[in-house]
Amino acid sequence: MPGDPVRFVGDAMAAVVHGIHEVRAATGAPPVVIGGLAVLARLSTPYRATVDLDVVDRRLGDAPQLELLRAADGARSVEPAAVLLPTPFGEVTVDVLEVRQVELDEPSDDPGDRLHAAAHAWAFDTATDVEIHVTVRGAAAITVTTPIAEPGPLVAMKLQAVMDRGAAKAGTDLLDIVHLVVDPATRQPALHQISDVRAEVARDIAWHVDHWFVRQRRVASHRINAVGGDLTTDDLDLVAELLLAAATRRGGV
């Protein structure tokens, strides 16, 4: 059962959260939410807003979710893998991240590609229901319950996403990782989940942590602070230490 409801305020968040209703209506199933909304829903103190809705599709249904969403009334396609859906609070962009079973059965030689598939499948398979309320102009506007990615998979997905982003988006992803690791609501769940994930996934998590929080620490610090973070390299050292310890298995990573 869901815990205490997560509460947001404002039209922009209302559009994003109402998008969950629209996705469910189009696909016939509650979406598994990842990305910014999932991060904000897991933190004890949401520190930023989000304007997009990110969902993961394990391709277990009869038709791809993206195909069903693009066929919905009023939908507009956005390449390469998104759709604009109308809501009473304005349009919302829904990004669909797909994972095919072949990507898991025949993993790539590239640690980024491997982590992309493994982290999104992990997020889908372990997501738990969260109740979300959004208030607009003082009145309760929306209530929705849907599966939300857990903190550990969110860290893994964000680590991989940094590799493919421009500087600003990379800074937001890195700052999300920091918040997930230090926030009292997500710190222990994230570290425990990473410590318990399959060794192959843990190795790829460790590779990405070492890349961004150790070898590219100064670049990461600059990108984080450019998007409003106020962190020192010591802060990043702590995040690296905690994540690498969680990802380390007996006998090495």
Chain segment 28-60, per-residue pLDDT in tens:
999 999 999 999 999 999 889 899 999 999 988
Chain segment 99-109, per-residue pLDDT in tens:
999 999 999 99
- Banded model confidence at residue 13, pLDDT cuts 50, 70, 90: very high
52 CB-side CA count, 13 A: 15
Chain segment 23-34, per-residue pLDDT in tens:
999 999 999 999
Strand partners, 98: 57
Distance, in Å, from the CA atom of 162 to the CA atom of 159, rounded to the nearest integer, reads 6
Q: Classify residue 192 as exposed, middle or buried by CB count within 10 Å of its CB (0-12, 13-18, 19+).
A: middle
Look at 214-218, 233-237, 242-246, 248-252 and tell me which has the smallest mean pLDDT.
248-252
pLDDT value for 168: 82
- Banded model confidence at residue 249, pLDDT cuts 50, 70, 90: confident
Mean pLDDT of 122-144: 92
Residues 6+ apart with CB under 8 A from 100: 59, 117
pLDDT value for 1: 46
Mean pLDDT of 107-116: 95
Residue 252 has pLDDT above 60, yes or no: no
Which letter does DSSP use for residue 252 in this model?
B
Please report, rounded to a whole number, the percentage of residues in the chain having pLDDT higher than 70: 97
Chain segment 166-178, per-residue pLDDT in tens:
878 999 999 999 9
State CA 69 to chain mean position distance: 20
150-160 per-residue burial string, b: 16 or more CB within 10 A, e: under 16? bbbbbbbbbbb
Residue 2 has pLDDT above 70, yes or no: no
Mean pLDDT of 2-7: 80
pLDDT value for 248: 94
Supply the mean pLDDT for the chain. 93
Measuring CA to CA, which residue among 139, 161, 185, 174 is closest to residue 6?
185
Chain segment 65-103, per-residue pLDDT in tens:
999 999 999 999 999 999 999 999 999 999 999 999 999
